[in-house]
Structure 1
């Protein structure tokens, strides 16, 4: 278990982490999310004793990292996959780590097989691709067979097979009761891997929740509806205060239903709408009352990416400018 309480880190006048408290519990994969500059890497470094908190504390299994007698056997970490001696082979790199931490040689061979580096184990790590470097970094993290893993962007550079492999590996390790903290910008992959979430922005905690609760909270009571009388149902829902969006197939629209939009819908053969702000039960009642046939009535959860973008909108430190229009560049 990882426990952070009031964790704060200042660099001069800049606050990188601000009074951050959270718990990473064993038995599940916990995703660590936040925009660039949110303080994720600094937090991970403080967990591992690489940075000293200005204030607050962070414990691994009830102890500071610096107090662990054999850290590699308690915590495995991947913060920078390229933190290797480029002139050494993958096996020699792992052997050096094993010797330092009193880990038997047989464990080196086990992790080489586990991460799929057997065929390149004797090659110099400096010539590795980004994906192979990631696998070596993961092997280093797993070397001590630790109960806790702290991984920063572990799927970076991996091919689809490798991404699926690391997903299954982390789920399997969590099922064994291990504590896993995983940071990644790949929201689709995080949604399939993590159970719990810690979301931060500008160094502060935004939410500590589960993936399911996080996406449900951002869904805004949205319902996907298909009906041969979609335009009529959309008008009824709009009268009830709902926001209705037509699918791209419906006259190429994607805007909130208005009078002109409803007129366009009536002349279209498309049958799909999305209703926000009205529960599916009420939509079904409207359909029954007005004799409207329903093909589909499905509550729609926001994707993890949609939920993340929505909740961190005000916490983004680095934003990109909107692309200039042709008129704006003249």
Structure 2
């Protein structure tokens, strides 16, 4: 259940807020539509509810605000706008990555792919998917964690009529099992067909809150759809008879051989056509648009509008508006939702089953048991209208099956962010291509430095010319670290979980660990490749290991890991890969000169004798020659680049923690 109170967005430049004091409720077991024209504030309302946008108001999901829920993605499945994700990632890889993020088994990805019909496209790249397949994948992401609540922003936008019916069937199946569904739309007919409850927004304000049956009566005009080759003659006869009988009948010719008759019935129109010998190809009751000749709704083609009109029919007599009989085979109780059982085949009823009228059972409909949906919307009429003098409504198709429930949700584990980060980093080829380019560039640079000469052995193995602020390996590590957060903001796959990138320290720790491991591997491979190439080109002399290799190795690995961490933190703070890489380059270019200038003067002292002084202060004895390792660490930090990098990392970490605390304090 969703309860929103007083949602108000921030106003800009003196303009009225996009959403002004909107309060709404979406109940469990119901499909709720948020209806409004483009610019009415539907998307802003959802973003305020999900705490993705600054504003005022409160929203409770089953009695708790989103920031009080430990794992929001397990409670709320979200689809906002385009399906976010790196275009080079595969469909299955994307879902497996999100499975690790929300803490569900990796096999869950295959389960939801089968339900949404994307099994054959699981190895396709996200950038190659069509609009309909993109919507299916978005719904799969929303259903991945078996959430109780679905919040979808215009999920049927751009879909064909058949795909829209499938999508609405999935939403209906979720609500039938006790879940809460809230989706936005700009088409009144779609809201009437798919929803049980319709909330209308206009210019950021709530103007109507109605059950679907009442919405249909007040917003959608009932009419009789007629197809005849003698449309002009029949229209004149209907208008003449209406004037004679002093009845309010409006006849609108919609083009070709189609008429829309408002204020009459199929029986009256059919009798008029029969008396005058007029051939009729179609005669059906429909729910029309807001008025005659309104045409298709925004974003709807004429063909789609015609198909939608043919698919929507009046419920037959004996059926209660807003109730429909559907079958849901093979479903099981889901997290937080009631269990639904199929009707017994012998016609008997088990305790708790809802009795279905005999006339509805005779049509072959299956009943949904459990609590009746008293506020459901009108019959969707998913069957096609046959081109005959009278329209016979088909039995509604069974609802699509949902993914099997998650039997037990495991407790939060540090491995979940680590698994997510590993799958994120290895799911696309960007990291591998970057590492290959770094190794090739480093080897070529080392060969050129050896040819020029006058380069110390340590710098030669690291391929670090004095003219460059950082060696290729350090720049590559910084770029890979910046991509770790930059891709999250560019392709926000975790948008459902508290913003474009969730501010969780567990995720930050995982990114730092993976970035450090990647940097260490890159640093080791770079030195190894440089030494091997130098040996092949110039012989053993230039490939010799320096005598103080231990301290140099510590300095080298510390530099590369520090650049990777600086890229991670800077991209997380500035929300950009470019800004993360710029922060890495700024360390030797800007920070080092400032540190050197600040340390100039007579107050500068050497760090010699630090282990002895530490023993004197802390009365500690360093076992196994620990003084040597401590001195090496101090020398690394005492170097200009090492000191500047340490200072930068400290500042970036503080900035990240500050932004994290600000996002959590609402």
Q: Tell me, yes or no, whether TM beats 0.5.
A: yes
Task: Indicate the residue corresponding to 1:202 in structure 2.
Answer: 203
Any conservation in 2 of the 1:237–1:244 contact (CA below 8 Å)? Answer: no
Task: Indicate the residue corresponding to 1:90 in structure 2.
Answer: 91
Any conservation in 2 of the 1:223–1:274 contact (CA below 8 Å)? Answer: yes
More helix by share: 2
Task: Indicate the residue corresponding to 1:192 in structure 2.
Answer: 193
Aligned counterparts of 2:225 and 2:136: Cα–Cα separation in 1: 41
SS in 1 for 2:108: helix
Matches within 5 A, 1:116-135: 116-135=117-136
User: Shift of residue 169 of structure 1?
Assistant: 1.0
User: Shift of residue 94 of structure 1?
Assistant: 1.2
Q: Assess, with a 3 A threshold, how the Cα gap between structure 1 residues 222 and 123 changes in structure 2: closer, same or farther.
A: closer
Aligned counterparts of 2:220 and 2:74: Cα–Cα separation in 1: 41
User: Shift of residue 33 of structure 1?
Assistant: 0.6
| Residue 138 (1) aligns with residue 139 (2) | yes
Matches within 5 A, 1:221-240: 230=238, 233-236=241-244, 238=246
Q: Assess, with a 3 A threshold, how the Cα gap between structure 1 residues 246 and 227 changes in structure 2: closer, same or farther.
A: closer
Task: Indicate the residue corresponding to 1:246 in structure 2.
Answer: 251
Q: Assess, with a 3 A threshold, how the Cα gap between structure 1 residues 243 and 82 changes in structure 2: closer, same or farther.
A: same
User: Shift of residue 302 of structure 1?
Assistant: 4.8
User: Shift of residue 49 of structure 1?
Assistant: 1.4
Q: What is the count of residue pairs matched by the alignment?
A: 276
SS in 2 for 1:72: helix
Determine which structure has greater relative contact order: mean sequence separation of CA pairs < 8 Å that are 6+ residues apart, divided by chain length.
1
Aligned counterparts of 2:65 and 2:224: Cα–Cα separation in 1: 47
Larger radius of gyration: 2
Aligned counterparts of 1:10 and 1:172: Cα–Cα separation in 2: 36
Task: Indicate the residue corresponding to 1:4 in structure 2.
Answer: 4
* Bigger shift: residues 184-193 or 125-134: 184-193
Task: Indicate the residue corresponding to 1:263 in structure 2.
Answer: none
SS in 2 for 1:234: helix
Any conservation in 1 of the 2:225–2:286 contact (CA below 8 Å)? Answer: no
Task: Indicate the residue corresponding to 2:365 in structure 1.
Answer: none
Any conservation in 2 of the 1:131–1:156 contact (CA below 8 Å)? Answer: no
User: Shift of residue 47 of structure 1?
Assistant: 1.4
SS in 2 for 1:43: helix
Aligned counterparts of 2:169 and 2:209: Cα–Cα separation in 1: 24
Q: Assess, with a 3 A threshold, how the Cα gap between structure 1 residues 224 and 93 changes in structure 2: closer, same or farther.
A: closer
User: Shift of residue 90 of structure 1?
Assistant: 1.0
Question: Normalising to structure 2: TM-score of the pair?
Answer: 0.37
Aligned counterparts of 1:223 and 1:122: Cα–Cα separation in 2: 48
Aligned counterparts of 2:102 and 2:22: Cα–Cα separation in 1: 31
| Residue 102 (1) aligns with residue 103 (2) | yes
SS in 1 for 2:45: helix
Aligned counterparts of 1:224 and 1:135: Cα–Cα separation in 2: 33
Question: Normalising to structure 1: TM-score of the pair?
Answer: 0.71
Q: Assess, with a 3 A threshold, how the Cα gap between structure 1 residues 103 and 224 changes in structure 2: closer, same or farther.
A: closer
Superposed CA offset, 1:132-156 (max 9, x none): 2221111111111101001112123
Structural RMSD (CA): 3.8
Q: Assess, with a 3 A threshold, how the Cα gap between structure 1 residues 75 and 248 changes in structure 2: closer, same or farther.
A: same
Aligned counterparts of 2:156 and 2:262: Cα–Cα separation in 1: 36
Task: Indicate the residue corresponding to 2:465 in structure 1.
Answer: none
More strand by share: 1
Aligned counterparts of 1:167 and 1:40: Cα–Cα separation in 2: 19
Any conservation in 2 of the 1:222–1:275 contact (CA below 8 Å)? Answer: yes
SS in 2 for 1:306: coil
Task: Indicate the residue corresponding to 1:49 in structure 2.
Answer: 51
SS in 2 for 1:248: strand
Aligned counterparts of 2:103 and 2:173: Cα–Cα separation in 1: 26
User: Shift of residue 107 of structure 1?
Assistant: 1.2
Task: Indicate the residue corresponding to 1:20 in structure 2.
Answer: 22
User: Shift of residue 35 of structure 1?
Assistant: 0.8
Task: Indicate the residue corresponding to 2:181 in structure 1.
Answer: 180
Any conservation in 2 of the 1:230–1:273 contact (CA below 8 Å)? Answer: no
Any conservation in 2 of the 1:74–1:146 contact (CA below 8 Å)? Answer: yes
Aligned counterparts of 2:162 and 2:46: Cα–Cα separation in 1: 27
